[in-house]
Structure formats: structure tokens, C-alpha cells
Structure 1
Amino acid sequence: MDREELMSIAADAVNESELKSTDIPAISLYVDQILNLVAEKLKDGSERYHDRQLTKTMINNYSKDRVISPVKGKKYTKEQIVQILMVYSLKSTLSIGEIKRVLDGAYATEGFSESDMTALYDRHLDIKNEGKWFAQSMLGDLIDHNTLDLSNDRDYITAICALASLSNQLKNIAQAMIDVRFPEPEESDEESDKEKEKALEKEKEREKDIEKALEKYNAKIEKTMEKAKKKEAKMKRSSDNNE
């Protein structure tokens, strides 16, 4: 493989098509309508993204984990759809908990509204699209700087490892930024007590399981000893008869 072939692969790999806020109707939508919107948009991008579709389970989990605003009824507002798309865009890199902290932090900002959420999402997509070209340029620089020969298996594997390592480092930086600005909320005394109660219940259950296991073990030992005694008595009687 030469450099031109790799750059072609890279271009296809980052060719992801995502819904912009202007693609979303101003009216509230049912889950199936949201899924259809996203699925149709994915078709405009690389084929590798066609099977990475948003699902009903994902949306239900986002709502259940309170990553998006509470849903009233069965329809989602445009603001909630934008929240869903933001989570969907970030979930391959950040955990749901980390994304929730970021969105909670955004909404904690004084005066943060639906229009601000929409603007944040659109800005995110703009920078993400710029990042596609930046990633390809960085790949070229990586090859040139390290004089990698892509026709050589070792150099090809080295390039893969370097990209994976760089991806992980950038992820670590993003997580560190979240920890600094949006740290995990401290557990309340009530939540702490509940956790302690759960731990205590689990410990009691574990002790009961151990007791049951010991009872079974002791019963098995007693049964074995009883059989041994009977066998010994039988052998003794047989010996006495022979005498």
C-alpha cells in the first residue's frame, strides 16, 4: 500500500454524515421518526457508518440515565433531539456519565437555553468536520516525520499503533478537562447510607451462603463417616464369623 491509498482509506473512514439542527423539524417527534431521520442521514456518509445506527434502546437509556431532559409523553422536542444527537456523537469516546456531567454543566450556566444547546451542537459539528481534515493531515505528517514505509508490514502496524495511542491520549485529555471543570458530584449522606445498607445486605447474604455451604459440607462429612463406620462394623462381623 502506498501513501495515496492510505489517505483514500482515511478519507472514507472519517466520512460520517450527521444531522444538523436545521435538519430537525421544529415539531416534537416520536422515537421512530427520530431513528428514521438519523438513518437517512447516515446513508450520505461512508458505508462503514451504516450499521452504527441510533436505536430505541439507546434513546430509552439516555432518558433513563437522565442524560437528556425529562420526556413528557411519547414525543421528543427539538431540544431533546439535539441532546440525543450530542450524546450519540460523543458516546464512542466518553462514557455516558462523563457526557451527563458535561451537559449538566452546560445547563447549569446562567441563562443557558434551548437556542444555546442548538448553537453548541452546531458548533460541535463544525469543529468535528474540521477535525476530519486535521486527522488526515496529521496522518500524513506522522508518516513523513517517522519515514514510515506503508508497504512494509512493520511500519504499517507501527502507524496503526501510533494512531490508536494518539486517540487514547486525546481521550485522556478530554476526560481530564471534564474532571477539572465538571467533577463528579459528591454523594449525599442519604445516598451514602443507602449504599452502606446495600453493602451490608450483600454481606449478610454472602454469610448465609457460606453457612449453607458449610452445612452441606458437614452433612456430607457425617454421611461419609457413617458409611465408613458401617463398613468397618460389617468387616468386623465378617472377621468374627470366620474365626
Structure 2
Amino acid sequence: MMEDISEIINQLGIDRRIRLEDIPSIDLYMDQVTQLFENTYRPSKRRDEEKVLTKTMINNYAKGKLLFPIQNKKYSREHIMLIQLIYQLKGGLSINDVRIVLANLNDKMEKSDIELDPIYQHYSDLQDRQVEVFHVAVQSLYQDVQSELADMQGEHGGYLEQLLLVTALIQQSNMYRRLAEQIVDQMGERHV
């Protein structure tokens, strides 16, 4: 199954994201923003009918103060970067937690107290390294699962391998999410 797991990882599209160089230097209308996200993430969707980003989502982000104010119905490079961050964060955090994480950054953006390009580049560089770490970690986890099942042979071996791998992956996901939530709680306490 290791070949299968490597193939599955490759199909996930976890290395897909809007990079700094992909963001136009001109402001975009909402349709252009949704198209940019759709074009970037289409290959990594679980199901074809899923929407990557909709107008409603963007409007909700703006209304929920996840983005600093939009000017003339156009989205700047900085808005695109923030929407990318929201897109990633909402996969593991509640919208309220995302708001807490981005509140300070949005305040600074609105006051022009910070330049987002270098921060976004660091984010992108970290994501690249995390993809590499993920490949190695999943292979190691898979080997652990095989070691656990070494004494079990027979017709249920494939299913049990998948069962243990899924539960172990979810356990890791839960641990990372809980750690992120604890950090968000600390951020919320400081921002109040």
C-alpha cells in the first residue's frame, strides 16, 4: 500500500497555493478573485462539485471583519493574501478563531503599519517545507502501522492497515488542531 499512499499524497495537491508571484499587481473584482482561487485549487478538491471560494464566502469574510475594508468593490494584493490565509486557516479553525488570528494583522493593514508581502513569503516558504515534512511523516507513520500489524495476517490485513492509518492520521490532526486552538486562545487574551 505504500505506493498507494504516495500516490494519494501526490493527488492531494497539498503543495497548491496562491504564491506571491501569482497575485496580480492590480486590484481585482470579486469574480476575478474567485476565479484565481478556483484555478489554483481545482486539482486539489475532494469532489468536483465543491466550490473553493464563493462570492458569499468573501462577503461573509468582509462582514465578519476577517478582512480590512474593501475599496470600490476591488480586492488588493493584500486582500488576496488575507483570503489565502483565511482559506488555509478555516480548514482547521472556527471562523471566530480565524478572526482572532487575523485581527492584529488586519488592524495593522488598515493603518498601513505593516507590509504583508514579506510575511506572506515566509508563510509560503514554511508551507513548502511543511509539504516535505508531511511526506516523510506519513511514510514513517505508515511504517509504524505496518509494525503494529506485523503479527496479523489474513484477509482483514488491508482493511486493518487502512483503519489504523486513518485513526492515526486523525489523531495527529486533532493534536495539531488543539495546539493551534491553544495558541489562538492566547492571541485572543492579548487582543482583548
The count of aligned residue pairs is: 182
Instruction: Check if 1:162 corresponds to 2:161.
Output: no
Aligned Cα RMSD in Å?
2.5
SS, match of residue 152 in structure 1: helix
Range with greater deviation from structure 2 (72-81 or 47-56):
47-56
Q: Name the aligned partner's letter for residue 166 of structure 1.
A: Q
Work out which of the residue numbers 45, 48, 63 in structure 1 matches 2:46.
Answer: 48
CA drift at 1:60: 0.1
Q: Which residue of 2 aligns with 1:226?
A: none
Deviating beyond 4 angstroms after TM superposition, the runs of 4 or more aligned structure 1 residues are 107-111, 148-151
CA drift at 1:161: 0.5
For the 8 Å contact 1:28–1:76, the answer to whether it is kept is yes
For the 8 Å contact 1:101–1:183, the answer to whether it is kept is no
- C-alpha separation in 2, matches of 1:90 and 1:84: 10
CA drift at 1:166: 0.7
Work out which of the residue numbers 172, 181, 191 in structure 2 matches 1:175.
Answer: 181
- C-alpha separation in 2, matches of 1:125 and 1:145: 30
For the 8 Å contact 1:30–1:74, the answer to whether it is kept is yes
Q: Name the aligned partner's letter for residue 174 of structure 1.
A: A
Q: Name the aligned partner's letter for residue 160 of structure 1.
A: V
Percent identity over the alignment is 26
For the 8 Å contact 1:67–1:99, the answer to whether it is kept is yes
TM-score calculated relative to the size of structure 1: 0.66
Q: Which residue of 2 aligns with 1:106?
A: 105
Q: Name the aligned partner's letter for residue 162 of structure 2.
A: Y
For the 8 Å contact 1:106–1:112, the answer to whether it is kept is no
- C-alpha separation in 2, matches of 1:99 and 1:85: 12
Q: Name the aligned partner's letter for residue 95 of structure 1.
A: S
Q: Which residue of 1 aligns with 2:56?
A: 57
Q: Name the aligned partner's letter for residue 93 of structure 1.
A: G
Q: Which residue of 1 aligns with 2:75?
A: 76
Q: Name the aligned partner's letter for residue 48 of structure 1.
A: R
Change (3 A) 1:164 1:105: same
Contiguous gaps of at least 5 residues in structure 1: 187-243
Contiguous gaps of at least 5 residues in structure 2: 150-155
- C-alpha separation in 1, matches of 2:131 and 2:47: 15
- C-alpha separation in 2, matches of 1:33 and 1:85: 14
- C-alpha separation in 1, matches of 2:168 and 2:30: 40
- C-alpha separation in 2, matches of 1:151 and 1:133: 29
For the 8 Å contact 2:92–2:177, the answer to whether it is kept is yes
CA drift at 1:89: 1.8
CA drift at 1:39: 1.7
